[in-house]
Amino acid sequence: MLRTCIPQLWKILIFPSSAIGLLQPPITFSFSPLLARLWGVLVLLFIGIGVGVVIFTGACVAPVIFKTSSILPTPLTRYDAGILMSHIFIRSNWVLNALACILVLDSLILKKAILLRLSHLASSVLIFLFSFYYTPFILRAQSLGSVYTTSEKFIQMHAQSEIIFKILLTLLCFSFVSRALRNMPKTSH
C-alpha cells in the first residue's frame, strides 16, 4: 500500500497539475442520454427542495417562532421557542440528509464538472455536520434545561450552526445553477 502511495505523492509534489486526476471518480457510470437528463432533473428537484428548506426554516419559521410576542397574547419563552425550532430542524434534517446522499451520488456520476462535484461534496459535509453534530448538541443542551441554553458554549455552537446554514445555502444555490446549466440542451449556432 505504502509503495503505491509514495510514487503518487511524489508525482503530485513535482507535477501539481497531476493531482486533478485524483479528483476523478474511481467508478465511472454511463447512462443513456434520457436517463442522464432524468437524473439531472431529479438532482435539480432535490437541490431546489433543499434550498427551500434552508430558506424557509431560517428566514420564515425562525423569526415567527422566536418573536411570538407580537403574535400571541402569551408569548413563548425563548427556551420553549428553541424547543419548537429544534423539532422543526429534526424533521428538516431528514430531507437534507436525503439530499446529501443524492449529492454524493451525483458527484460520483459527474465526470468533468470538478467545481460542481466539490460543491456537492462540501454541501453534503455541511448537511451531515448540521444533522449529526450541531443538532444533537443543541438537543442535549435543551434537555439539560434553560440554564444551559444561555451558556457561552451553547451560544457559540448556535452561532456556528447559523453560519453553516448560510454557507450551505450559498453552496446549494451554486449547485442548483451549475447543475441547471449542465442539464440544458446544447445548442449549435
Distance of CA 50 to the CA centre of its chain: 8
CB within 8 Å of 82: residues ≥ 6 apart: 138, 142, 149
Cβ proximity of 123 and 104 under 8 Å: no
For 7, the grid coordinates are: 510514487
Full pLDDT tens readout for the chain, 189 residues: 445 555 554 455 455 555 555 555 555 556 688 888 899 999 999 999 999 999 999 999 999 999 988 888 998 999 999 999 999 999 999 999 999 999 999 999 888 889 999 999 999 999 999 999 999 999 999 999 999 999 999 999 999 999 999 999 999 999 999 999 987 777 765
pLDDT of residue 10: 47
Of the candidates 104, 70, 66, 72, the residue with the CA atom closest to the CA atom of residue 88: 66
pLDDT tens, residue by residue, 146-173? 999 999 999 999 999 999 999 999 999 9
At 3 the three-state DSSP class reads helix
Length of the chain equals: 189
CB within 8 Å of 157: residues ≥ 6 apart: 134, 137, 138, 141
Chain position carrying cell 432533473: 41
pTM for the model stands at 0.80
